[in-house]
């Protein structure tokens, strides 16, 4: 690399990053977390743990026992999850992985930060003074009406006490 190339690289605009709040099988220790670690999908960096500011119904439904965050703000429970910063490539991958916009829709959600490991940098990179962040979340507005009456969870673990084991994609 020439000196000019190095200077041009320093001037190149930083890749746009987005925050994503994951509450289900994408969390650490869960069956689909590996897709966040796979550099072929893009970049994702763990920032911390949080909980939705508003309550939402988090239900486990369908023949594969998939966790679904129903887009019904104000109902359900404040849902716990993890905050990641992702590049545009990973965001596009997640859209496809989550079946967006048919199965899930990527929507903004306000999250209260419980633990923060993210960079201590510009105000855009930090939680607001009230300890909250705006993130994208994959929720759904297209669900069977009876799902609203399923038990609401405040946290998801594929091997949790709910007794509804997740059926991974590779087994379907």
Q: At which residue do the structure tokens 């923060």 appear?
A: 116
- Cis check: omega of the bond before 101, within 30 degrees of 0: yes
The Cα 92–Cα 145 span in angstroms is: 29
Q: Could you list the active site residues?
A: 98
Q: At which residue do the structure tokens 């993890």 appear?
A: 82
- Copy the structure tokens of residue 170: 């590779």
Q: At which residue do the structure tokens 């007794």 appear?
A: 163
Q: For residues 27 and 141, is the Cβ–Cβ distance under 8 A? A: no
């Amino acid at each position: 690399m020439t000196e000019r190339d190095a200077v041009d690289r320093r001037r190149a605009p930083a890749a746009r990053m987005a925050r994503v709040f994951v509450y289900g099988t994408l969390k650490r220790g869960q069956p689909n977390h590996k897709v966040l670690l796979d550099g072929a999908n893009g970049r994702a960096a763990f920032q911390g743990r949080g909980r939705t500011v508003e309550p939402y119904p988090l239900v486990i439904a369908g023949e594969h026992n998939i966790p679904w965050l129903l887009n019904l703000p104000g109902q359900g429970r404040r849902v716990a999850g993890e905050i990641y910063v992702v590049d545009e490539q990973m965001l596009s991958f997640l859209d496809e992985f989550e079946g967006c916009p048919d199965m899930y829709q990527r929507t903004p959600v306000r999250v209260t930060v419980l633990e923060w490991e993210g960079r201590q940098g510009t105000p855009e990179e930090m939680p607001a003074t009230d300890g909250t962040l705006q993130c994208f979340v994959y929720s759904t507005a297209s669900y069977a009406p009876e799902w609203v009456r399923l038990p609401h969870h405040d946290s998801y673990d594929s091997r949790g006490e709910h007794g509804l084991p997740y059926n991974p994609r590779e087994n379907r």
